[in-house]
């Protein structure tokens, strides 16, 4: 159908050629930055192809090219040949698809909008959630599991030392921790040490020794890698006490009074080249016996206030990796 002059013709339906052209230009620009030899020419080719198609389409009416049939106009011939769709009471608002149309447009658009919206929402939210929640399931830094406390000679047998150290010297102050260490002597030829964490098992407050701390005997040990160990002689005769809510522990770390739900946590350790190396922290339900004869009921590390034995352990079946 030829458009008539003077009468405003039914303009050709929008095509996607301009978008293709823009994509080609964008490709060229990106290619210039990223890879001038490969991507830019590809972009150029795309741009040229779409420019040609666009120009051909835009000048169609001046060249006298017959107009393509509009999709909307298909309704008329289809209705003329096929029986009219009867209008019945209670019919759906969306009309039945005309013959030739398998899938009504509005339904498709609805579905596509919701679907695409869902995809976009997912693409934005999932990485963000992953980043936020990831640490809840992530592992503790491996660097934290290896602290060199210096030569074992600094820990005379039968004496307690208050040791302050960095879990990771590179991060500095924020990883400073304190442990109460007693050398119990030798057990089957191996040194036996009691290394107790100073974080209360109730809610994590710093626990004090119930006994003198001889600040004058402070010893600073440099074990390399930025690690500065401070060792102070102390004598927790009455065990340990927590100032927050009145928890009390005996010298083995067993709870004797107050709200703590289990014993104080302990550190694993190893002796390498005569140096005391701290390992992972673990939780302790209770300790039978004292010193090198102690039987430690060991569990994987749980947060303060979380029961690891007794009936209340069902509240804490899962622990994030530490």
Q: Which of residues 244-273 bind other proteins (CB under 8 A)?
A: 244-246, 248, 250-251, 255-262
**Which three-class secondary structure state does DSSP give residue 49?**
helix
Distance CA 137, CA 268 (A): 23
Distance CA 293, CA 193 (A): 11
Applying CB under 8 A, the span of 101-109, 118-126, 239-247, 287-295 interacting with other proteins comes to 239-247
As measured in angstroms, the least distance from the Cβ of 150 to other proteins is 16
Q: For residue 203, state whether it binds other proteins (rule: CB under 8 A).
A: yes
As measured in angstroms, the least distance from the Cβ of 119 to other proteins is 25
Angstrom distances, CA of residue 156 to CA of 12, 159, 175, 210: 94, 6, 26, 20
Q: For residue 223, state whether it binds other proteins (rule: CB under 8 A).
A: no
Compare residues 184 and 210 and give the one whose CB is closer to other proteins: 210
Judge residue 178's burial from the number of C-beta atoms within 10 Å of its C-beta, 0-12 exposed, 13-18 middle, 19 or more buried: middle
Cβ-proximal residues to 168 (8 Å cutoff; 6+ apart), any chain = 141, 143, 144, 175
Return the residue of 194, 198, 223, 283 that touches other proteins, per CB under 8 A: 198
For 32, how many CA atoms within 13 A lie in the half-sphere containing its CB?
A: 6
As measured in angstroms, the least distance from the Cβ of 8 to other proteins is 31
Binding mask 93-132 toward other proteins (x if CB under 8 A, else -) reads: ---------------------------------------x
Compare residues 46 and 229 and give the one whose CB is closer to other proteins: 229
For 173, how many CA atoms within 13 A lie in the half-sphere containing its CB?
A: 0
Q: Return the residues of window 271-310 that contact other proteins according to CB under 8 A.
A: 302-307, 310
**Residue 298 CB neighbours (<10 A):** 13
Binding mask 2-41 toward other proteins (x if CB under 8 A, else -) reads: ----------------------------------------
Distance CA 8, CA 43 (A): 37
Return the residue of 40, 46, 147, 162 that touches other proteins, per CB under 8 A: 162
Q: What length does the chain have?
A: 322
Q: What is the DSSP letter of 254?
A: -
Q: For residue 150, state whether it binds other proteins (rule: CB under 8 A).
A: no
Compare residues 41 and 291 and give the one whose CB is closer to other proteins: 291
Compare residues 80 and 136 and give the one whose CB is closer to other proteins: 136
């Amino acid at each position: 159908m030829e458009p008539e002059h003077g009468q405003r013709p039914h303009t050709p339906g929008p095509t996607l050629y301009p978008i293709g052209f823009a994509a080609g230009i964008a490709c060229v620009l990106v290619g210039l930055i990223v890879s001038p030899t490969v991507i830019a020419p590809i972009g150029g080719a795309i741009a040229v192809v779409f420019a040609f198609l666009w120009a051909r389409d835009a000048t169609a009416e001046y060249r006298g090219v017959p107009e393509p049939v509009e999709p909307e106009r298909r309704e008329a011939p289809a209705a003329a040949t096929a029986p009219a769709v009867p209008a019945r009471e209670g019919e759906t608002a969306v009309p039945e698809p005309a013959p030739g149309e398998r899938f009504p447009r509005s339904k498709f658009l609805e579905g596509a909008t919701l679907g695409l919206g869902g995809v976009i929402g997912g693409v934005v939210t999932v990485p963000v959630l992953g980043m936020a929640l990831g640490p809840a399931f992530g592992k503790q830094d491996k660097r934290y599991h290896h602290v060199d406390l210096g030569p074992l000679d600094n820990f005379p047998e039968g004496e307690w030392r208050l040791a302050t150290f960095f879990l990771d010297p590179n991060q500095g102050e924020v990883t400073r921790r304190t442990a109460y260490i007693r050398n119990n002597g030798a057990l089957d030829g191996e040194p036996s040490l009691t290394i107790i964490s100073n974080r209360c098992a109730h809610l994590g407050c710093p626990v004090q020794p119930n006994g003198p701390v001889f600040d004058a005997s402070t010893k600073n040990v440099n074990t390399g890698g930025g690690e500065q160990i401070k060792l102070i002689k102390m004598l927790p005769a009455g065990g340990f006490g927590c100032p927050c809510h009145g928890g009390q522990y005996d010298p083995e770390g067993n709870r004797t009074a107050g709200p703590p739900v289990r014993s104080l946590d302990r550190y694993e350790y190893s002796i390498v080249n005569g140096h005391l190396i701290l390992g992972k922290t673990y939780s302790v339900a209770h300790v039978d016996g004292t010193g090198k004869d102690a039987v430690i009921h060991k569990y994987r590390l749980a947060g303060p206030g979380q029961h690891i034995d007794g009936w209340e352990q069902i509240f804490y079946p899962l622990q994030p990796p530490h």
